[in-house]
Amino acid sequence: MGKSSSSEDYMKVILILHKRKGLVRSVDIAEEMGVTKPSVSNAMKKLREEKMIYFGDDGNIIFTDEGRTFAEKIYSKHSLLSKLLRIIGVNKDTADKEACMMEHAISDETYKCLGEFINAHGGETFMEKKI
């Protein structure tokens, strides 16, 4: 899809907030990400132009079908990478921070292979196995 890292971060945060709160407004995104409201406004304009989101009559941010699929994929990459880092002993805060950087760089193929590897080797018990 060729989205920027920034767009991916916004999409992931919208999804997280939607899961947490149900309704998402620009002010919620600014607060969650620690950015200014004008920065969020610019990002939302771009995402709306890319047909990833739209605004409801009440001002809430709503995913298009394509937008939700994209956001869930980014969130899934983040979750997988964070889990992998925790499995190898990285603390949760560092794992989440570094997973956020890595999620933008890995290909779909690498993501798929990492998921299959973790599943094949028992996830959390991975470090107990000798490979």
Residue range 106-119: mean pLDDT, rounded? 90
According to CATH, the topology of domain 5-67 is Arc Repressor Mutant, subunit A (1.10.10)
Closest CA to 27 of 68, 65, 61: 61
Per-domain residue ranges for the chain? 5-67, 70-120
Say how far residue 8 (Cα) sits from the centre of its chain.
Answer: 7
Long-range (24+ apart) CB contacts under 8 A made by 110-119 are 111/76, 111/77, 111/80, 114/80, 114/81, 114/84, 115/80, 118/80, 118/83, 118/84, 118/87
Query: 12-41: per-residue pLDDT in tens?
Result: 999 999 999 999 999 999 999 999 999 999
* Residue 131 in this model has a pLDDT that exceeds 80: no
Which of the listed CATH numbers 3.40.50.620, 1.10.357.140, 3.30.1490.20, 1.10.60.10 matches domain 70-120? 1.10.60.10
Residue range 50-64: mean pLDDT, rounded? 95
Q: What global pTM score does this model have?
A: 0.81
